[in-house]
Amino acid sequence: MVFVVAAPLGLAASAAQASAPAGDSTVQVRIQDQDSAGAKTPLAGVAISVETPDGTEVGTAVTDAKGIAKVEGLTGKDFFVVVDTSTLPKGKTLLDDPASGDTGNKRSVTVGVTGKGIKNLFTGQAKKNTSTWIDQVPQRLVDGTRLGLVIAITSVGLSLIFGTTGLTNFAHGELVTFGGMTAFLLNVTIGLPLLVAGPIVVLLGGLFGYVLDLVLWSKLRKRGVGLISQLVVSVGLSILLRNFFLYRFGGRTRPLGDFANQEQWTWWKVGITPRDLSTTILALVVLVATALALQRTRLGKATRAVADNVDLASATGIDAQKVIRLVWFVGGALAALGGIIRGLDEQVSSEMGSSLLFLMFAGITLGGLGSAFGALVGGFVVGVFTELLTLAVPTELKNVPPLVVLILVLLVRPQGILGKRERVG
């Protein structure tokens, strides 16, 4: 069973490491004129050529009414786009690209796993950032809401596993990575539409969690292995899976094939793509459905009973082992769904789950260890808090303050927002 669940990862990795098929690469260039406010106007009739790194010209094109020019049927993935500046409108020159370091009329472009390399070029004036931090708050709230929903979805299973078994599972982030990489296999490698591949990935994620409990954690519980020892095993399992993902998939981030390069919808000062809006609504619906299932269904009530007191629940006739297996299945399925959403938002990588792990821990600690509802609330709060902090701290350090909050919560209110006080000793 382990092979059946893990095999897609090897297939995805092998396909990911392969280069684009011969003659199947496309370079797309969009040239627009920009004013200082950021308004863009497409430039038609601009001639471009595409060269290989050794300077060999492999194609030419002219921008259409949308400012787009395509050169198709190329072999390889690294190219240079050369713009014929004499075809630019009078007085217009290409703006430098600080992100890539490109200047002049020759710009580098790399073809991705989807077989397309996209280069956006601008003339006119560099966009001036005149917005204050107050102007940026609405956008940060929207971005934080999306991140918070992903953290909430992925941490529900982590919290329930802790509540029902006492295990602090440091390998839970790899369930998220499994979801993202399996989605990459089905969507990019095999070519299934993501709307079809998504439910399959969620099911496989649930099976992966179920199999992990069946072949590892249930056996450790039966042998009476202590929780500290199980924690150490989870750390080792996390390192093993992470390095396996890295070895097979590589260190690069790769996009899923569907819903890429969408234009943003803008309302007031908030921008969001149709894809991000759809995944936000989906995540919210799933979280509400999960909360209702825990509150009103028989299995949900049994799960909460086992999480509150496993011995008392067993004494009332509840099959605790069956409930624990269900928790592992649901936790794996929700983590896989979070991996798909995260893959759409930040692209798929071997580190995508581990980078979220401590934010998940911060969320379930803030909400209350072992409480599914606490994980929902805490994950959402941590996501919003993390994005808002980018207004005050560098983006590279935005994950640090939530971890400080985790420490403070453990010191001041260790039971969290929705957790219960317990007598120790």
Q: What tens digit of pLDDT does each residue of 230-252 get?
A: 999 999 999 999 999 998 888 77
Could you give the CA distance from residue 374 to residue 355 in angstroms, rounded to a whole number? 21
Work out the pLDDT band at 5, boundaries 50, 70, 90: very low
Q: Which amino acid is at 352?
A: M
State which fold the 136-254+271-412 domain adopts. ABC transporter involved in vitamin B12 uptake, BtuC (1.10.3470)
pLDDT of residue 17: 42
Q: Check: CB of residue 348 under 8 Å from CB of residue 336.
A: no
Mean pLDDT score, 366-375? 75
Could you give the CA distance from residue 47 to residue 83 in angstroms, rounded to a whole number? 6
CATH 1.10.3470, the chain: domain bounds:
136-254+271-412
3-state DSSP assignment of residue 34: strand
Could you give the CA distance from residue 253 to residue 273 in angstroms, rounded to a whole number? 20
Could you give the CA distance from residue 291 to residue 156 in angstroms, rounded to a whole number? 10
pLDDT of residue 218: 93
Could you give the CA distance from residue 146 to residue 280 in angstroms, rounded to a whole number? 6
Window from 61-65, 161-165, 191-195, 376-380 with minimum mean pLDDT:
376-380
Could you give the CA distance from residue 163 to residue 183 in angstroms, rounded to a whole number? 29
Window from 7-11, 100-104, 198-202, 320-324 with minimum mean pLDDT:
7-11
Q: Is pLDDT at 9 greater than 80 in this prediction?
A: no
Token readout for 183 is 């989605």
State what percent of residues in the chain have pLDDT above 90. 35
Work out the pLDDT band at 1, boundaries 50, 70, 90: very low
Q: Which amino acid is at 402?
A: P
Q: Which pLDDT tens digit goes with each residue over 150-170? A: 999 999 889 889 888 889 999
Identify the CATH number of the domain defined by range 23-124.
2.60.40.10
pTM of the model: 0.72
Q: What burial class does residue 37 get, using C-beta atoms within 10 Å of its C-beta: 0-12 exposed, 13-18 middle, 19+ buried? A: exposed
* 92, 96, 99, 105 alpha-carbon torsion, rounded to 10°: 90
Mean pLDDT score, 284-289? 91
Q: What burial class does residue 36 get, using C-beta atoms within 10 Å of its C-beta: 0-12 exposed, 13-18 middle, 19+ buried? A: exposed
Q: Check: CB of residue 386 under 8 Å from CB of residue 359.
A: yes
> 318 or 370: which carries more pLDDT confidence?
318
Q: Count other Cβ atoms within 10 Å, centred on residue 121.
A: 21
Window from 49-58, 141-150, 385-394 with minimum mean pLDDT:
385-394
pLDDT of residue 16: 43
* 270, 273, 276, 278 alpha-carbon torsion, rounded to 10°: 110
Mean pLDDT score, 360-366? 86
Which parts of 213-297 fold into alpha helices (H)?
218-222, 227-249, 274-296
* Nearest to 256, CA basis, from 201, 325, 310: 201
Mean pLDDT over each residue of the chain, to the nearest integer: 83
Token readout for 408 is 């403070």
CATH 2.60.40.10, the chain: domain bounds:
23-124
Could you give the CA distance from residue 282 to residue 264 in angstroms, rounded to a whole number? 18
> Quick one: which H or E segment has residue 208?
helix 194-212
Could you give the CA distance from residue 306 to residue 337 in angstroms, rounded to a whole number? 25
Q: Which pLDDT tens digit goes with each residue over 68-85? A: 999 998 988 889 999 998
pLDDT of residue 380: 84
